Amino acid sequence: MNELISELKQLNVGVIKENEPLSKHTTIKIGGPADYLIEPSSIENIQKTMELIRKFGVKWRAIGRGSNLLVSDQGIEGIVIKLGAGLDQLEINGTEVEAGGGYSLVRLATTLSRKGLSGLEFASGIPGSVGGAVYMNAGAHGSDISKILTKALILFEDGNLEWLSNKELEFSYRTSCLQKKRPGIVLSAVFQLTEGNKEEITAVMQKNKDYRKETQPWNFPCAGSIFRNPLPHYAGKLIEDAGLKGHSIGGAKISEMHGNFIVNNGDAKAEDVLDLIQYVKDKIYELYQVKMETEVEIIGKK
């Protein structure tokens, strides 16, 4: 590992931090240290980073803005690649938009609304990055990324760069082929928007933001929706009907505003959240014979 880090520093690939607490890089403010966290300063430098990771056979993991993510208290072995300032480019050509994997999804939705471009209003309150949104097919308010994405530039572990079409990404509910079938890093994404009325677009976005503020615990650290909706049921409704809102284990608590959110009361550990997730799974199955599956991605040492 030392030799790898030495070479990365010589190449000046970007910011490199050792034993970096991932609680600083997740929206739920939980997570043990990464052996090394690297924030590449460009697409070229993330390619160099991946090349050396492959050369030395080191474990790796990519993250964006850390939403929809629960990192174990023991942290992550190897290297965590964070997509940030070096991969936040934006290019707008008429109704076609290309955004870097590290670009804020909320910022993108706001920027496009001001230009009268419609299609991303649903994302006005999703606190993730473009890369993460493509990776998990993020969605809300009846829409999702698959509805507007035309293609994405993916860096695979073998070093290959490839543009994958919407079809090739194999989108489904909160998933894409990048999660298990073809692990890779979203470096850039191209979206097809439509021209619309600025005032109408802004009004829809504000309505979506207001709805989130009224129904979700935006003022507490959380990871977003914890469970996938076990259709035709809704996770939050099942949890509420089971009387579990407000239930806590350690510093983790099921939000009293929305049953499908677990909040960090200030001193929560990943273990608390995991115990609470299991408690909900057991209770919902006991009461309704419905199996709950997590939407939040759980990663790190066990």
Contact between 242 and 279 under an 8 Å Cβ cutoff? The reply is no
Kind and range of the H or E element at 55? Answer: helix 43-56
Helix axes 43-56 and 2-11, enclosed angle (nearest 10):
160
Helix axes 105-114 and 198-215, enclosed angle (nearest 10):
150
168 in active site: no
Characterise 43 by phi-psi region: left (phi > 0), alpha (psi -120 to 50), beta (else).
Answer: alpha
- Pick the closest to residue 241 from 273, 288, 281 (CA basis): 288
295 in active site: yes
Among 20, 39, 121, 295, the one annotated catalytic = 295
Counting Cα atoms < 13 Å in the Cβ hemisphere of 262 gives: 34
Tokens representing 180 are: 């298990």
Among 174, 188, 212, 255, the one annotated catalytic = 174
225 in active site: yes
Q: Which segments within 141-288 are labelled E, that is strand?
A: 143-144, 149-156, 161-165, 184-192, 194-195, 248-249, 252-254, 262-264
Among 118, 176, 225, 255, the one annotated catalytic = 225
Q: Which residues are catalytic?
A: 174, 225, 295
